[in-house]
Amino acid sequence: MKKLSILILSVFVFTLAFSTFSYAGRRTNDAFVEEFVGSVSAEQWKIVSGDWAVDSGNLTGKGKILTDIKIEDDRLINFSLKANDQKEFTVFGKFSSEDNYVAITFLKEGPASLELVKEGQEVLKKEVETSVDISKFHNYKLKFSKNTLSVKIDGEAVLGLSDTNLSDLSGGVGFASNGEITCDNISIATFTPPVLVLSVGQSPGAVMAKVLAQQAGVTVKHLDKRIQPEELTDIQFSVLMPVIGASGKGLGSAGISIEKEVKWASDIFAKARSLDKSIITLHIEGEARRGDLSNKLIKECVPGSDFVIVKASGNKDGLFKELTDSNNVPFLEIENAPKLPVTLKDLIVFDEESS
């Protein structure tokens, strides 16, 4: 079984101004995307108490609501939330029962409170200094990494904690409040570097992707030479990032037919899967890199991906949406390629301090 690489339950607060998920409640073994369109999905959410509803792309309600997504190690929980008529709200991480969870309660006034409960015992309680006005939307990021937890609000660090009990817990994510709260799109990201960037179609898009990923602070490997699937065994990477875009000139110069390129891509994907790697597929050169040749590569690669990121102009005919919908693959459109670094920062868990 391929290990969990990404579970998305987070908000791309600033990204979403320029990008859109294809639909809500999408989930595979490696991904969950929820942007709250339609109604609260009974398959993705458990309403423990109170009333919860979806309105205008937001989740609004009071009481308690949880997902069944299991948060273990290396998870970045991203969400945007405001408390409409209440002085506090609680966010849960690693919630498996009322006896095992991590919870942070944010107050309208005064410090937040962190609580860690294990086997029914409160093993840790800690104040978290913050002056955030919870009646307004803010971006909250909770990063779990083995026995550590860090919290950022609007990009500012408010907590850094290390406790061995953290690594003993695993469970879902959720919210609770006695009054009404409103959540924007939410996600949990767990792709981890290094990332191996490969060109599929011999276009220059892979070089662009490498530079943009480096701007995001992601450790990137990009090979100038074309590798064979078996060579992946000797390369240290966690995420394969194929960049699709067929170049007739590039293929011709390399003496490669489109049929051979499709077969090579298929074998690369299969080998990556056998090595338990995640796959984030990109198409970032837009409409200019669409056509019969690229379409063959797209149809081969998209169904086997864990996540797909596409420049909006490259999806005018809806092919990416069609393929991701039918194969249950999380899908994100970005306005243009320079938006990629912001997107990757929300998808990939890495030590920002080292970037």
295: domain CATH number is: 3.40.50
Is pTM beyond 0.85? Reply is no
179, 156: one domain: yes
Please say which residue of 144, 165, 184 terminates a domain. 184
Say yes or no: 232 and 303 in one domain. yes
Residues 148 and 242 in one domain: no
So what's the pLDDT on residue 162? 86
Q: What is the CATH number of the domain that holds 118?
A: 2.60.120.560
Q: Is residue 350 part of a domain?
A: yes
What is the distance between the alpha carbons of residues 147 and 166, in angstroms, rounded to a whole number? Answer: 5
Residues 210 and 158 reside in one and the same domain: no
Domain assignment present for residue 31? The answer is: no
Q: Are residues 265 and 206 in the same domain?
A: yes
pLDDT attached to residue 113: 94
Residues 129 and 95 in one domain: yes
Question: How many independent structural domains does the chain possess?
Answer: 2
Q: Is residue 17 part of a domain?
A: no
7 falls within a domain: no
Whether the upstream peptide bond of residue 194 has omega within 30° of 0, thus cis, is yes
Q: Which of 142, 162, 184 is the last residue of a domain?
A: 184
Angle at 117 (CA atoms; ends 113, 123), nearest 5 degrees: 85
Do both 158 and 264 map to the same domain? no
Contacting residues for 139 by C-beta, under 8 A, at least 6 apart: 11, 13, 14, 78, 79, 80, 153, 154, 155
Q: Establish if 26 belongs to a structural domain.
A: no
Task: Please indicate, yes or no, whether residues 229 and 275 belong to a single structural domain of this protein.
Answer: yes
Q: Is 42 helix (H, G, I), strand (E, B) or coil?
A: coil
Verify that 168 and 309 share a domain, yes or no: no
**Cα(227)–Cα(36) distance, rounded to whole angstroms?**
41
Q: Is residue 252 part of a domain?
A: yes
> Are 170 and 225 members of one domain?
no
Domain of 276?
A: 195-354
Q: Which of 122, 150, 184 is the last residue of a domain?
A: 184
Beta-strand pair 307-311/278-283: parallel
Element (DSSP H or E) covering residue 316: none
Same domain, 215 and 165: no
Q: Does 94 reside within a domain?
A: yes
Instruction: Identify whether residues 175 and 225 lie together within a single domain.
Output: no
**pLDDT tens, position by position, for the chain (355 residues)?**
333 333 333 333 333 333 333 333 444 434 555 667 666 665 578 899 999 998 888 889 999 999 866 666 667 788 899 998 768 999 998 888 999 999 999 998 889 999 999 999 999 999 998 888 999 999 898 888 778 888 889 878 898 888 989 888 888 889 999 999 999 877 777 778 899 999 999 999 999 999 999 988 888 888 777 899 999 999 999 899 999 999 999 999 999 999 999 999 999 999 999 998 989 999 999 999 999 999 999 999 999 998 899 999 999 999 999 998 888 787 888 889 888 888 887 777 655 443 3
